[in-house]
Structure 1
Amino acid sequence: MIHPVLTRAARPLALAGLSLAALSLPALAQETAEAAAPEFASAAETAFIFNTLLFLMGGFLVMWMAAGFAMLEAGMVRTKNVSMQLLKNVALYSIAGIMYWAVGYSLMYVDVASYIGTLAPYGWPDAGTANEGSYSVASDWFFQMVFVATAASIVSGTLAERIKLWPFLIFVVVLTGFIYPIAGSWKWGTGWLDAMGFQDFAGSTLVHSVGGWAALAGALLLGARNGKYASDGRVAPIPGSNMALATLGTFILWLGWFGFNGASQLAMGTNADASDISRIFANTNLAAAAGVVAALILTQLLYKKVDITFVLNGALAGLVSITAEPLTPSPFMAIVIGAVGGIIVVLTVPLLDKFRIDDVVGAIPVHLIAGIWGTLAVPLTNGDASFGVQLVGVVAYAVFTFVASFIVWSILKAAMGLRVSPEDEMNGLDLAEVGVEAYPEFIAVHGR
Structure 2
Amino acid sequence: MTNLLKFAGVAGVAAFTALPVWAQEAAEEAVAAAPDASADPSPYIFTTLLFLMGGFLVFWMAAGFAMLEAGLVRSKNVTTQLTKNIALFGIASLMYWLVGFNLMYPGDGWWISGIMGPWFSITSLEPVGLAAADATLDYASVGSDFFFQLMFCATTASIVSGTLAERIRLWPFLIFVVVLTGFIYPIEASWQWGGGWLSELGFSDFAGSTLVHAAGGFAALAGALVLGPRIGKYTAEGRTVPILGSNLPLATLGTFILWLGWFGFNGGSQLAMGTVGDVTDVSRIFANTNMAAAAGAVAALILTQISYGKVDLTMVLNGALAGLVSITAEPLAPELWAALLTGAIGGAIVVYTVPLLDKLKIDDVVGAIPVHLIAGIWGTLAVAFYTGGWVPQIIGIVAIGAFVFVVSYIVWLILNVTMGIRVTEEEEVAGLDVSELGMEAYPEFAKG
TM-score scaled by length of structure 2: 0.88
- Does residue 285 in structure 1 map to residue 290 in structure 2? yes
Equivalent position of 2:123 in the other structure:
122
Q: Shift of the alpha carbon at 1:124?
A: 1.8
Q: Shift of the alpha carbon at 1:438?
A: 0.1
Equivalent position of 1:390 in the other structure:
393
Residue among 177, 184, 194 paired with 1:179 = 184
User: Structure 2 counterpart of 1:97, which letter?
Assistant: S
- Sort the Cα spacing of 1:43 and 1:125 in 2 relative to 1 into closer, same or farther, 3 A: closer
- Sort the Cα spacing of 1:297 and 1:245 in 2 relative to 1 into closer, same or farther, 3 A: same
Asked if the contact 1:115–1:186 (Cα under 8 Å) also holds between the matched residues in 2, the reply is no
Residue among 95, 101, 125 paired with 2:97 = 101
Residue among 333, 336, 354 paired with 2:338 = 333
Asked if the contact 1:115–1:191 (Cα under 8 Å) also holds between the matched residues in 2, the reply is no
Equivalent position of 2:174 in the other structure:
169
Equivalent position of 2:305 in the other structure:
300
Residue among 337, 345, 350 paired with 1:345 = 350
Q: Shift of the alpha carbon at 1:99?
A: 0.2
CA distance in 1, matches of 2:214, 2:354: 16
Equivalent position of 1:38 in the other structure:
none
Residue among 226, 237, 257 paired with 1:221 = 226
Equivalent position of 2:52 in the other structure:
56
Equivalent position of 2:86 in the other structure:
90
Residue among 132, 135, 139 paired with 2:140 = 135
User: Structure 2 counterpart of 1:160, which letter?
Assistant: A
User: Structure 1 counterpart of 2:186, which letter?
Assistant: P
Count of matched residue positions in the alignment of Structure 1 and Structure 2: 406
Q: Shift of the alpha carbon at 1:125?
A: 2.1
* Superimposed CA distance per residue, residues 294-321 of structure 1 (whole angstroms, 9 cap, x where no aligned partner): 0000000000000000000000000000
- Does residue 409 in structure 1 map to residue 409 in structure 2? no
TM-score scaled by length of structure 1: 0.88
CA distance in 2, matches of 1:211, 1:119: 24
User: Structure 1 counterpart of 2:246, which letter?
Assistant: S
- Does residue 357 in structure 1 map to residue 362 in structure 2? yes
Structure 2 unaligned spans of 5+: 1-19, 21-36, 113-117
Asked if the contact 1:114–1:186 (Cα under 8 Å) also holds between the matched residues in 2, the reply is no
Structure 1 unaligned spans of 5+: 1-29, 31-40
* Superimposed CA distance per residue, residues 329-382 of structure 1 (whole angstroms, 9 cap, x where no aligned partner): 0110000000000000000000000000000000000000000000000021x2
Asked if the contact 1:84–1:434 (Cα under 8 Å) also holds between the matched residues in 2, the reply is yes
CA distance in 1, matches of 2:382, 2:185: 23
- Does residue 429 in structure 1 map to residue 425 in structure 2? no
Q: The residue matched to 2:109 in structure 1 has which SS? A: coil
Q: The residue matched to 1:147 in structure 2 has which SS? A: helix
Equivalent position of 1:234 in the other structure:
239
* Superimposed CA distance per residue, residues 197-253 of structure 1 (whole angstroms, 9 cap, x where no aligned partner): 100000000000000000000000000000000000010000000000000000000
Asked if the contact 2:54–2:264 (Cα under 8 Å) also holds between the matched residues in 1, the reply is yes
CA distance in 1, matches of 2:252, 2:290: 16
Q: The residue matched to 1:44 in structure 2 has which SS? A: coil
Q: Shift of the alpha carbon at 1:110?
A: 3.4
Equivalent position of 2:10 in the other structure:
none
Runs of 4+ deviating beyond 3 Å: 114-117
CA distance in 2, matches of 1:173, 1:113: 22
Q: Which has the larger radius of gyration?
A: 1
- Does residue 77 in structure 1 map to residue 73 in structure 2? yes
Equivalent position of 1:268 in the other structure:
273
Asked if the contact 1:115–1:185 (Cα under 8 Å) also holds between the matched residues in 2, the reply is no
Asked if the contact 1:111–1:118 (Cα under 8 Å) also holds between the matched residues in 2, the reply is no
Equivalent position of 2:196 in the other structure:
191
Asked if the contact 1:324–1:378 (Cα under 8 Å) also holds between the matched residues in 2, the reply is yes
